[in-house]
Amino acid sequence: MLTREELGRRIARERQRAGLTQEQLASALGLERTAITRIEQGRQGVDTLQLSAIAQAVGRPPVIFFESDEERSLEVILRAPDARREDVRQQLEWLTEFIRDYEFLLDLTSGVQAK
């Protein structure tokens, strides 16, 4: 389960990736900078509208705050300069599907082996 603290860390990371200061993000949201500090520290929650506004301010879809590290690592690979070539993108997409299938088969066989 995603905790308030982890959500805050993810918001801080995406704000920094976007090159925004806490002051700039606060201004975009109509909040005080101290509110952003509390959110990023996990001491203040955010509602769905605020989270959507944060995502828009950092130029990312709201789902980015809920994705696992594994899902984000593929996104970083796809941003690489070579990944703009279609053949590389296709190979990476194939690899992603292969890994998902492999993990699915592992889950299936672990249940069989336990019996």
Are residues 19 and 60 in contact, defined by beta-carbon separation less than 8 angstroms? no
DSSP state of 110: H
Residue 65 pLDDT level (bands cut at 50, 70, 90): confident
CATH class label, 4-65? mainly alpha
Determine the 3-state secondary structure of 99 from DSSP.
Answer: helix
Determine the average pLDDT of the residues in 8-29. Answer: 95
| Residue 13: partners with Cβ closer than 8 Å, 6 or more residues away | none
Report pLDDT for 40. 97
What is the rounded distance in angstroms from the CA atom of residue 33 to the CA atom of residue 35? Answer: 5
Cβ atoms within 10 A of the Cβ of 21, count? 12
Q: Report pTM.
A: 0.61
Chain centre to alpha carbon of residue 25 = 18
